[in-house]
Amino acid sequence: MGKERILLEDRSPVCDIQAFVEDNGECIYFYLWVHPGSGHAEIRNCWVCNTVPGTEDMDHAAMKSGRAPRMPLPFVAHEPEGIRLDEGELSLVWFEEGDGAALYEGERLIAVIPGWSGPDFSGYSIYAKGMGPFAWGLSDALDVLKARLDRCRTYWDVMNGDYFGEMQQEQLAAMEAFFGPYKKYYAIDREEFPPKALVTGGKDGNLYAFTLGNGALAQPKIEGYYQEEAYRYRRIEFGAAFPAGCSQEGVMAVLNYMAAQSSLPWKEISWLGHGHTIPCGVVPGYEAVLLLDPAQCRVRPGPAFSGFMGEPVNLLWMMLLTGDEYRMAKEGGGESLLERKGDDPASWNLV
């Protein structure tokens, strides 16, 4: 007790997650602290190695005293007397989604807490073997995870560079090919990473608005739904349309709402996609929005956004819903709403 020492600390570039590596004098653990300090905080932990001799059985004494337990020797792949890590060589690489991270010692990958870790799976350690109680062996998954993390290194190198200038020009060109010269460009990132904007333009008497720059980010948790196809759906931009006659106040309320929702997947560590609904009470008479991907239904398409890092950037149109429509959408009635409201986004949102 009282020997705990933090070896490394970091924060996710996009999610509310703090990472740290701790040596408690008997073993080393890698932690991800999700929503730290909040009422719904969660700690995900992964054993890395024992630093003193281990035992054959569970370390009940440590658990009873509130200390992180040593891994039982049947699941330990290093010397039974324990090992030490080179603190000065430790570093982290975050997954593209920002909800998982990997621990390296020099160039060697030694532990991983992926975004899909949970109560029944802590993470991987190169010093674990089999399906240990506090970490699974990394060796069997090493090739797949190493390739993925090599891409993550490249991704964050791109994101820490000047990628936005090129993306901004490509997305503005796609929007102007759709509605002509844009009318307004609103920065919505509050000068925080990553840079994002909301752009408006007019076409056929209607007003259109699209987010810009959001598609550089990969959404968390979507892999649990789409598995190997997640790369097709994890990058999104929002779009909304307003027919002539809408009030300036109503339009601006929806635009502010769009700007706020652009951060939702990383704020909540979740994902948004076709058919999802989000509560929305910014305009009287409406309670939610329905998100519709024109590639997955018969809604009219919007700008043809270029991909990012070899992955498509998908448009999600926002359809405002009344209370009755919201209930219908939650019950799986998205197609019925399209039958009622038509396939033209410019006819949906009278605010």
Contacts for 66 with CB less than 8 Å, ≥ 6 apart = none
Q: What is the mean pLDDT of residues 71-100?
A: 97
- Average pLDDT of the chain, as a whole number: 95
What is the pLDDT confidence band of residue 63, given thresholds at 50, 70 and 90? confident
What percent of the chain lies above the pLDDT cut of 90? 88
The yes-or-no verdict on residue 1 having pLDDT over 80 is no
Handedness of CA 177, 183, 185, 188 (dihedral sign): negative
Q: Could you report the per-residue pLDDT of 235-254, keeping only the tens digit for each?
A: 999 999 999 999 999 999 99
pLDDT in tens, 162-175: 999 999 999 999 99
Tokens 């020997």 sit on residue: 3
Distances (CA, A) of 297 to 107, 199, 243, 317: 45, 24, 21, 11
CA dist 270 and 222 (Å) reads 7
% of the chain surpassing 70 pLDDT: 99
Is the pTM higher than 0.85? The answer reads: yes
Distance CA 276, CA 159 (A): 28
